[in-house]
Amino acid sequence: MVIKTEVCAFSDTRIYPGHGVRFIRRDGQPITLFSAKCKSLLKQRKKPAKLTWTQAWRRLNKKIKVEEVTRRRTRKTTKLNRAIVGASLEEIKKKRSQKPEVRSAQREAAAKEVKARKAANKAAKGSAAAMKAKPTASKQKGGNTKARGGAKR
């Protein structure tokens, strides 16, 4: 059977049933005290950290082992490489291991290529339109380009 004990607010001693005083302060806060000695010293406004026989002093002067409250470790999310559609694991790894400069260069090259392709397409279309309506081609073209820009955004 475990006996329910309380802890003295001044000296940190355990208080067994039938002992101790619970003093209720003016603001309604109860203070449990072990003995009349503790009560007297508390009323004199003594600091327990300055009296050698209290646990507070012993803790301050490193006479007892202080159990540090270990913080719970938060789980960190670990990154894991997995194969995605269209790119196997090895491919991703290969790309990762490349230097960033090389990669950026590659990307630029790819972008340029796409641009060139688009430009070529445009040119082809433009020529087709020009063929259809020759005299007002320049005006129409201007209007067309503006409209396209709006749609893109």
Partner 1 sequence: MIRTQTLLKVVDNSGAKLVKCIKVKKKGGKMSAGVGDIVLVAVQTLRPRYGRRIRLKMNKSEVHHGVIVQTRRLYRNKGGIGQSFSSNSVVLVTPQLKPLGTRISAVLPSRLRGLKWAKLAAMAKKII
Residues that bind partner 1 in the complex, under the rule CB under 8 A:
6, 15, 17-26, 28, 30, 32
Q: Closer to partner 1 by CB, 31 or 92: give it.
A: 31
Instruction: Report the nearest approach of partner 1 to the CB of residue 31 (Å).
Output: 10
Instruction: Report the nearest approach of partner 1 to the CB of residue 11 (Å).
Output: 15
User: What is the distance between the alpha carbons of residues 50 and 116, in angstroms, rounded to a whole number?
Assistant: 83
Q: Closer to partner 1 by CB, 31 or 137: give it.
A: 31
Q: Closer to partner 1 by CB, 40 or 144: give it.
A: 40
As a residue count, the chain comes to: 153
Q: Report the Cα–Cα distance between both ends of the chain, in Å, rounded.
A: 76
Instruction: Report the nearest approach of partner 1 to the CB of residue 40 (Å).
Output: 13
**Do residues 81 and 92 touch, judged by C-beta distance below 8 A?**
yes
Handedness of CA 140, 146, 148, 151 (dihedral sign): negative
Q: Closer to partner 1 by CB, 28 or 135: give it.
A: 28
User: What is the distance between the alpha carbons of residues 31 and 9, in angstroms, rounded to a whole number?
Assistant: 6
Instruction: Report the nearest approach of partner 1 to the CB of residue 54 (Å).
Output: 19
Amino acid letter for position 120:
A
